[in-house]
Chains A and B, each alone.
Chain A
């Protein structure tokens, strides 16, 4: 049976999954330096072992109210077409194998352009929203793929 592995993260009790191939590592929360003249969901930049990595506040990106970072907060480092980006999430602690049969295309409910949830996965009665990274990061070139 075909399945894929997803790294699961949580925002306000909901579970989201990202294809494990794109996740480089998961870092504890560190201080983020604000950068002016950027979209408001760009939280800033961090130093990851000598490299400057931009961090996206996924709560703001998804339109969920802000939350102060705490000890569970994590920055997931994503590597998408050689661009490294950090995703600030409430927590992230598991990797799940979800069978391809258990994945359905997300219903288009709202007229929202930001359809960054592409699929819905089911796992032991839980609902996992699979994130379309290129939409989340607004990398246009990739959307055609």
Chain B
């Protein structure tokens, strides 16, 4: 079977499951006694096992299977959760995550071996010990060695009470229900075993509840069993009553009923568990064989999975509605065309305008995903970092539900990782220093996301060292990036922004994590690429805050249209701080750069016509008054001289294509109402 069509679903769902596994793991670490977390992880592992098994990814299936075994022991309280178990589970998570990522890129499993990890898990299952054993690194015991031949006699039931919640069973018994184990043997002649089983299940459900079955319900549905199956059944009916239920169903050879009354305490757990593990191992090795075909197939038709967005059905419905309204307008316009009533036409156009605006809104929303997708990985990262650096860190995340464009979500992860690492590594002091300063033992990193107008703001704030402008100034001078004199003239804020200079790294001790020279300049350029900005706010000794502003969406922006001679250009509105006119005579020359004094600050003046190669400086026409658009880049301002303003307009950003890539100062192009093309100026590249 061709599995490629399911690949996207598999990748998407696996990722979702892994995300929740990650979360639950972290919670489990904080509250090791909480069985509900274990159950959740078990559930996730089981789901991933099932999916990967179907897709033929045996390594993933193997690993999750062993995880299940270990988790099962935890659930049955045979081993306790301790740091070792948590670490192992995290290791499993990492291995799964890297496998899934590899599969996403290559459509096949990576050759990376997880045998060592699988063996560690097996070791835990075998020894029922939650301490690392010395021989985990020894050669992999082949599956055959572990494979315990199933020797369950006919008299004993294969079904295992341990697989269900004991507390529920106890409650049921307290409430006057009886728990039965029932083995149903279908007659040899039974043709549609699955259907027959379905009828039996249905009849049973009418009088009570089927808690569990062996084989599993899925297997029974798929007719994956011989002539018999077992169920764990809770009912108020007597044994006779149950027999009566079965009497009314044909094609049953016979049934065995046993009352299950020796709940947990009496059950010899070790033996039971061992049996179930053995069974599981057998199942697994079977899986293995049947899945090989699938894996081979995956290899032969290698294909890249595309980017997908999961969309709430309501949003799609909304989109659909708008499109149908659009069609209505179209028809009404066609009609108006014939009966030449101008008034109605104007109405229709207005209507059309409303719909297109809503349509744009709706499509934008479809592309939006919550930043949770990115944030989710941080608790784990912070945990590992804190461990490595021997610091105590509390990560507080708010606003995970804030939505941004899918493309932004993908791109924002790296810069955020960088900033958080910075905060933990350089920002938050060592425990001793914190004690000296009278700060709480725990360093706090706040990660916030919230919408602000047409932007999304993401803040990374720590209560650590803060950024000392003096240190930065000294560093900049010692690195030869600026001279003493230049630095002296800068405000503290401007100095802090020097952090973004390429080749800057303030960490006095270069650690493994940060301070390797690729620094905040990368963060800045990446965010600038997304049309956003980064700001630093910092109090020495109290902490620092990095504020990232990102546009909500990339495809459509508000822009100011301007004229330069006969050419139209678009300036993104979010870069513009104000529009003003200045007198030519007030311009003075400072180090070959034209500046004016504007609101007591020097404002560099940029002649757009010259920057965009429209005219050479010699051809400059002298005007008394110049129209100046003041644009903002971070905390810097510059004035762009333009010929005239056309107005504000919503524009769709189009790329210039690969043939014309990398043109300075131009961010793209947009199509005008008359079908012409106007270029979009990127003010960030002008100064």
Q: Which of B657, B668, B675 contacts A30 (CB 8 A)?
A: B675
Is B664 in contact with A37, judged by CB distance below 8 angstroms? Answer: yes
- Complex Cα distance, B678 from A84, in Å, reads 19
A105-128 contacts to B, CB under 8 A, are: none
Total contacts A to B, CB within 8 angstroms? 63
The answer to whether A93 has its CB under 8 Å from any CB of chain B is no
The answer to whether A18 has its CB under 8 Å from any CB of chain B is no
Is A33 in contact with B567, judged by CB distance below 8 angstroms? Answer: yes
Chain B nearest CB from A54 CB (Å) reads 5
- Complex Cα distance, B658 from A52, in Å, reads 11
Q: Which of B613, B655, B675 contacts A36 (CB 8 A)?
A: B613
What chain B residues lie within 8 Å of A42 (beta carbons)?
660
The answer to whether B666 has its CB under 8 Å from any CB of chain A is yes
Is B613 in contact with A52, judged by CB distance below 8 angstroms? Answer: no
Q: Contacts A45-B669, A52-B677; is A34 near B658 (CB within 8 Å)?
A: no
Q: Contacts A45-B669, A50-B671, A52-B669; is A35 near B676 (CB within 8 Å)?
A: no
The answer to whether A46 has its CB under 8 Å from any CB of chain B is yes
Is B676 in contact with A33, judged by CB distance below 8 angstroms? Answer: yes
Is A54 in contact with B613, judged by CB distance below 8 angstroms? Answer: no
Instruction: Describe B's contact surface by its main secondary structure.
Output: mixed
Q: Contacts A30-B675, A34-B567, A37-B613; is A52 near B654 (CB within 8 Å)?
A: yes
What chain B residues lie within 8 Å of A83 (beta carbons)?
657-659
Chain B nearest CB from A80 CB (Å) reads 9
Interface magnitude class on chain A: 20 to 34
Chain A nearest CB from B685 CB (Å) reads 11
Q: Contacts A54-B659, A83-B658; is A35 near B664 (CB within 8 Å)?
A: no
A32-90 contacts to B, CB under 8 A, are: 33-38, 42, 44-47, 50-54, 83-85
Is B659 in contact with A137, judged by CB distance below 8 angstroms? Answer: yes
Interface code B601-613, partner A: CB below 8 Å = 1, 0 otherwise?
A: 0000000000111
What chain B residues lie within 8 Å of A31 (beta carbons)?
676
Is B659 in contact with A47, judged by CB distance below 8 angstroms? Answer: no
Is A35 in contact with B657, judged by CB distance below 8 angstroms? Answer: no
From B660, which residue of chain A is reached at the shortest CB distance? A54
Is B660 in contact with A38, judged by CB distance below 8 angstroms? Answer: yes
What chain A residues lie within 8 Å of B664 (beta carbons)?
37
Q: Contacts A31-B676, A50-B671; is A36 near B666 (CB within 8 Å)?
A: yes
Is A51 in contact with B675, judged by CB distance below 8 angstroms? Answer: no
Q: Which of A31, A37, A42, A84 has the most CB of B within 10 A?
A: A37
The answer to whether B663 has its CB under 8 Å from any CB of chain A is yes
Interface code B644-687, partner A: CB below 8 Å = 1, 0 otherwise?
A: 00000000001111111001111011010001111100000000
Per CB-CB distance, the 4 closest pairs between chain A and chain B, nearest first, are A36-B613, A33-B677, A36-B612, A52-B669
Sampled A-B contacts (16; CB under 8 Å): A30-B676, A31-B676, A33-B677, A33-B678, A35-B656, A35-B660, A35-B666, A36-B665, A38-B660, A47-B677, A52-B654, A52-B656, A54-B660, A83-B659, A84-B657, A137-B659
Can you name 16 extra interface pairs (CB under 8 A) apart from A35-B663, A44-B677, A54-B659?
A33-B669, A34-B567, A35-B666, A35-B679, A36-B611, A36-B614, A45-B669, A45-B679, A47-B675, A47-B677, A52-B655, A52-B657, A52-B668, A53-B657, A54-B660, A83-B657
